[in-house]
Amino acid sequence: MPEAFIAVEIAIIAGLFLILVRDFTYNIYIWLFTLLFFKYQNKISMMGSVLPDISFDRILLASVIFIFIFQALAKKRKMPGLTKTEYTMILFCIMAVVSMVWTGAILKANGKLNLSELLGGYLVPFTMFYMSQSVYDNKQRREGLLKFIILTGIYLGFTAIFEHIGMNKLIFPKYILDADIGIHFGRARGPFVQAAVNGTVLGFVFMAIFYFIFKYKGPRIWRLCSITLLGIIPLAIFFTYTRACWLGAALGFLAIAIFIFKQRQKAFAVTAILFFLTAMLIAPSFLDDNSMAFAHERLHQEDPVYARISLYIIYLNMFINNPVFGVGFMKFTDNSSDYFIDPDSEYIPVRYTEGGRHDSFASILAEMGLVGTGLLLLIYFSIFSASVRLYKRLSAQDSADKNFVVVFWGIAIVYIVNSIFIEMRYVEFVNSLFFMYAGVIYGWERQYAKGILA
């Protein structure tokens, strides 16, 4: 198969390139940027093979994992031992594979392996969670992750503005301008070609900027970028015209306000003044009557609400009929019409609309039952418990480090709120970025527990 030889050749070239990068974290960032910009570009077709088609980001990911394992075997990197959290992740993925094999969802109609949702939604993010525990082992690298989020925010923030005002020449990649690719055309959807996903990542950025605004002692450029984004990112989130993104960003900001601003009231006042001054200078240039009218229409639009109610009827019926193991991982769409019962309510015009899942947690409850949902919730509980323990371990003098944990809480709120309204398993970039941050927190807490402070 010539495609296989091409794939191997590219993998070797990518691997050699990544090996030349001295700081391993840059390997991860290169992969994430590739995932961000080239996810919808042409793939290498593996015709005649059971293997799925290969994309460039998958090749780089394989290279990153290979280098990580090679460094561990060469004793250049210490592999963290597995804890109950990693074992739970492994068990969840095994259960998902068994579920797919049992129900026949493991293969597509053309005979290829159907693993994209498992890989992008769980397996790859869980792998990044484990790797991040040893990769981000000091303050400089931890801050580097936030700097990556800020750089991503500069690109996404300005791209959202360009989409809104129609400066198409400055938009990259150009497929963002193609109405036939993705959904939500006409809203700020970025390289994800979906406004809800774009708004989720913008929410991550909105949380991250507060780390550099307060108690950051590094180069001023990052504080200046954060102050600039303080005015741009809220606008960009607004231009997604997605209520879940608005709500997630607002609740995340509330967490930041409670834990950071409460201890620094003067800083809160200064930040509020900067925010309103920036808003007064920037917003009038972009918020015309059409923008406000569309925002008002989106805010009061009822169809998505009734569509969600229809889906929750299906989720509930699937769970009631298959409470232990569910209907099968990735089998929701195939079985959804069999589980919809129209309540025929004159007060709530519920109707069944065929389509995909729109809740990352309810869909697991329907597809994997109590067992799968219990494993997933245990993973989140372990992560958040570790973040609380870490916050308590950090002394009052480590206010910047405490802020790093608080920013994680803000990002987690954004992620969870949006996960309730959209199916995150389709979005590898968002899942990987969240679980990378979670892995940093988890690994940092483990260092404290072992008396290894960094």
The Cα diameter of the chain in Å comes to: 68
CA dihedral sign, ordered 184, 236, 121, 67: positive
Task: Identify the pLDDT of residue 2.
Answer: 47
- Percentage of the chain beyond pLDDT 70 is 79
The set of residues, in sequence order, having a beta carbon less than 8 Å from that of 349 and lying 6+ positions away, is 306
Point out the least confidently predicted range of 72-86, 194-208, 239-253. 72-86
SS3 94: helix
* Torsion from C-alpha of 381, 382, 387, 389, nearest 10 degrees: 110
Task: Identify the pLDDT of residue 1.
Answer: 45
Residue 368 phi, psi dihedral angles, 5° rounding? -125, 5
Per-residue pLDDT tens over the stretch 109-136: 777 788 889 999 999 999 999 999 999 9
Structural contact between residues 271 and 319, judged by C-beta atoms closer than 8 angstroms: no
HSE-CB for 165 with a 13 A CA cutoff:
16
Structural contact between residues 398 and 413, judged by C-beta atoms closer than 8 angstroms: no
* Cα 34 from chain centroid (whole Å): 15
Per-residue pLDDT tens over the stretch 64-101: 888 898 888 888 888 888 999 999 999 999 999 999 99
Report how far residue 25's alpha carbon sits from residue 56's, in angstroms, rounded to the nearest whole number: 19
Task: Identify the pLDDT of residue 319.
Answer: 95
- Which pTM was predicted? 0.89
Per-residue pLDDT tens over the stretch 392-412: 988 766 778 899 999 999 999
